[in-house]
Structure formats: structure tokens, C-alpha cells
Structure 1
Amino acid sequence: MTVKTLRAALGAATASFAALPAMAQSFDFGELPIIGEPQPGGVGFQPAVTSLARDIHWLDSFLLVIITIIALFVTALLAWVIVRYNAKANADPARFTHNSPLEVTWTVVPILILVGIGAFSLPVLFDQQRIPEGDVVVKVSGFQWAWEYEYPDEDISFQSYMIGADAGNMLTPEVSAQLQEAGYSDDQFRLATDTSVVVPVGKTVVMQVTATDVIHSWTIPAFGVKQDGIPGRLAQLWFVAEEEGVYFGQCSELCGIAHAYMPITVKAVSEEKYAEWLEAMKTGDLVTW
């Protein structure tokens, strides 16, 4: 693809965003802290606010310890062999070709290590894949380049676009004003969306994930969840948010030219606020800006 063709395609994508209405939920959730947010230069995990995320973080630390021990052992072994068995130190090398105890050891020990890793990692995987009955069910459909959410038990649905999508994905003064009005700062540009998934804390939320055009991926790092949305298929994930706050995610499957402008916003609120938000959504009391 030439630079000219790429610019033309990007211009077409931007033009399609420009035609979108700038709509937002103006419901007052109160002061919600932004918890699940990427940090500039960050190298660690976002704070874990679900049991799934804590299990993943623990497993990552557990595997890091194991691989560090293996790396140090192999490095020390290599250094010892280099020093002990170089040509100067060992002018008359041995001529044997087999060592059965050693060969059994380097076969059995890795097997035991892998079995141990599997014993701890498979339960984490199974816990993610065993979908419980949801207190709240949300169907999410990815499309180029935004999300559509449906609460089937509540008969409400809405679409979610990045704040600034209708301004060519650029941080203009107008976009900055929209961010401020929605309760965000310029630091949340390309993270915040005009509408949010709203869930109650302490309740089991089941997300049904699909897509309408190409493969997308719905993920919230602080929840420890990620699921590809594939056209024609309906996959599921679950979580129980434990802290009230705002959590950001991104489409995590390369889905086209505007893939980078397809963020996700989830607001975890109290049960009372969640019930009020549902009522406002059903009665159409939410205004646009």
C-alpha cells in the first residue's frame, strides 16, 4: 500500500467517524476514581479488582520465579563447563558418549516442572472458562470501529464511540471540552468513550462477545478478561468487579485502519446507582452533548 493510498483510506475512515453523533450518558455517577488506566512507561499490571485478575497476577509471579531459577541454573552450569572443561584446564578430555543417570535427570526434571506449572495454571484457565449464571448479562458487538452494547434482560442498548471520533481522532479544543464535560481530562483522550458499560460492584457480570464485520477483541486489563469477538459466533466471559471506579480497555485484535481508536470504558458503581442508571436509560432521561 502506498503512502497516498494509506492517507486516502485514513481520510475515509475519519470521514465516517465525523458523521457520527456525539452522544453521551449524562447520568451523574458521582466521583468515580479512575483505577484501570494505562500509565506512561508502565511495565507492570494494572490494579487487580477481580479474583480472575489476582489469579493471573499470582500465576505470572509464580512463573517468573520458576523461569528465573532455571535461567540462573543454566547460566551457572554453562559458566562452570566453560571454566572447568576448556582446552587448557582439560587437555585430555574423556571419550565416553553416554551417562544414563544424567540423561534420565534432564528428561524427568523438565517433565516435573511442566506438570507443576500445569497444576497451577490450568485451574486459573478453567476458572475463566466456566461461565457462571450472571446477575447482569451484557451482549457486546464489535464493529469497525466502535462497540454496541445490549442489556437483553433490561431491553436497553447503545453504541459506544471514542470521545473525539467525530473530530478526526484529534485532540481539539472541542474534544477537550467534551472530555471535561464527561468527567475526564486530556490524559484520557483515546481511552474515554462517549457511553460506558455500567455494572454493579459485587455482582457476577457475563459478557456475551461477538462481532459484525471482522474479528475484534473485548478486554479490560484490571478485570483480567479478554475475549475475541468473531462474526457469527457468540463467546462469553465473566467477572465480578470489587471496587467502584472507571476502567479502560482497548480492542485487542487488529481490526482495520482505525483499530487504535476503539477504546472501552466500564464504570463499576454501587447497586443503587446501577438501578438508577437503568431507570434513566429505560425512560430516556439521558441527554446528549
Structure 2
Amino acid sequence: MPTWHMLSFQDSASPSMEQLTMLHDFVMAVLIMVTFLVFFNLIFISIYNLTDRFLMHNQKIEIIWTVAPVFALILIALPSLQALYLLDDPFTPNITIKAIAHQWYWSYEYSDFPELFFDSYMMPTTHLTAQTRLLETDNSLVLPVNSQIRLITTSADVIHAWAVPAFALKADAVPGRLNQLMFSIKRTGIFYGQCSEICGSNHSFMPIKIEAIPMKTFLNWVMSYY
């Protein structure tokens, strides 16, 4: 059942998503202030009929409505540049994952563990019990929390897109090319994403499921494959 809190973003699970959420809230506050200022000015002008005497022939007012938008744009530009820098900030990864897109499923390879790779298909509706429809997969991408993660994505056929909203991640998977994502997960849990590129008739049936677990649990999970 939809609720009011679903109108906003998903709960952030990475520093990048936290920065983008803060930037969104700040920009929305600026837009609301500008909207109300213009609205009340229009009401004030229409009531007192000050268009010719006060606004059209007043040098101070002309300076204000020229300089004020400049300051507003600077206020928006500074945090947006900071968020953009943090999104593209490279670091030395602790683990590297390769996500290969197919029509219509994902394959994952753990580059640091040569024998660890698997395919991830969407679970059929008939096999679900209490899971989320169209988002549950038979094999989850298991990742450690509080670790620097590099994900390299590509495609085996057409253009797909690997996207997880809770991490503020989205990258096109292009045949013959490698795209890179750098991120860190701040809390444990299960997170979902989907292919965000119209890749064919079954575009909506190649979800992404990530299980974020502590590093010790992750290493035990890795050892179970050997």
C-alpha cells in the first residue's frame, strides 16, 4: 500500500546518495523561497498597482532583481559541484565486481576471486512466497559494508543499464566497452535495482538484488565457494 513517505527518495545507503539527497532538499528550499517571493510580489503589484511607479522606473529594484538570481545560482552551484566531485572521486578499491548484462539477466564475476561467478535471474512469480515481485532474483550480488567497491559493467548483446537507487548508482552497460562505478555501502540490508535502459521486450524482467553484509560474513560466504 503506498504511503506519503514513498514520495521521496529511497533511504540512502551510501555517502553519494546522502550527498544527493541533501543537495535535492537544499535546491527545493531555494526554489520554494523564490516561488513564494515572486507570488507575493505579483499579489502586491496587482493590489497596489505599483508597476509603473515602483518597478519599471526604479534603478535599485533593477539592480536587486539582477544580482539576487546570481547569488541564488552561486548558492546552488557550490553544493552541486561538491556532490559531483564526490560522485567521481576515485579511490583504491577493496573489491572489484564485474556486472555483465544479457537479454535478460545479469552475470556477476568477482575479479578478486577467480572461481566466484554466477548468473542472476528474476524469480518467477509462481516461486515467490513473501518476496518482492519483479525484484527478487535467484542469486543475489553479495557485497561487504564499509568497503570501497568498484563495479565494472558491460553488455554481451545490447545496451543495458545497471542502476541501484539507494546507492545513487546508474551506469550504461555497453557492448564492447567498460563503465566503472565506485561506491561504498554504509549499512547492512537488501537493496534492489533494475535495468534502466529500454533493452527489449523483457526489459522490466532483469532486476538487481544486492545483499550487504559485514566483512567477516562476506569472507565466510566467499570461502563457501571453495
Q: TM-score, normalised by structure 2?
A: 0.90
Q: Which of the two has greater strand per residue?
A: 2
Select which of 3, 6, 12 maps to 1:48: 12
**Rg comparison, structure with higher value:** 1
Q: CA deviation at 1:116?
A: 1.5
CA deviation string 1:142-195 (max 9, x = no partner)? 22221111111211221111111xxxxxx22xx12xxx4xxxx14x12111111
**Residue 117 and residue 212 in structure 1: after superposition, are their counterparts in 2 closer, same or farther (change >3 A)?**
same
Which of 47, 55, 61 is the matching residue for 1:83? 47
Aligned partners of 2:140, 2:193: CA distance in 1, in Å? 11
Partners of 1:51 and 1:81 in 2: CA distance: 45
Q: What is the alpha-carbon root mean square deviation over aligned residues?
A: 2.2
- The amino acid across from 1:128 in the alignment is L
Mark the CA change 1:81 to 1:265 in structure 2 (over 3 Å): closer, same or farther: same
Q: Which runs of no fewer than 5 residues in structure 2 stay unpaired?
A: none
Aligned to 2:161: 217
Report percent identity of matched pairs: 32
Q: Which residues of 2 match residues 1-289 of structure 1 at below 5 A? A: 40-41=2-3, 42-85=6-49, 99-155=58-114, 156-164=116-124, 171-172=125-126, 175-176=127-128, 180=129, 185-186=130-131, 188-281=132-225, 283=226
- Give 2:44's aligned amino acid: W
Secondary structure at 1:59 match in 2: helix
Q: What runs of 5+ residues in structure 1 fail to find an aligned partner?
A: 1-38, 165-170, 284-289
Between the aligned partners of 1:228 and 1:127, the Cα distance in structure 2 is: 20
The amino acid across from 1:223 in the alignment is F
Give the structure-1-normalised TM-score: 0.71
In the TM superposition, residue 99 of structure 1 has moved relative to its aligned partner by: 4.3
Amino acid aligned to 1:161: Y
Match in the other structure for 1:14: none
Q: Which 4+ residue blocks in structure 1 deviate beyond 6 angstroms?
A: none
CA distance in 1, matches of 2:173, 2:85: 20
Whole-angstrom distance in 1 between the partners of 2:175 and 2:77: 32
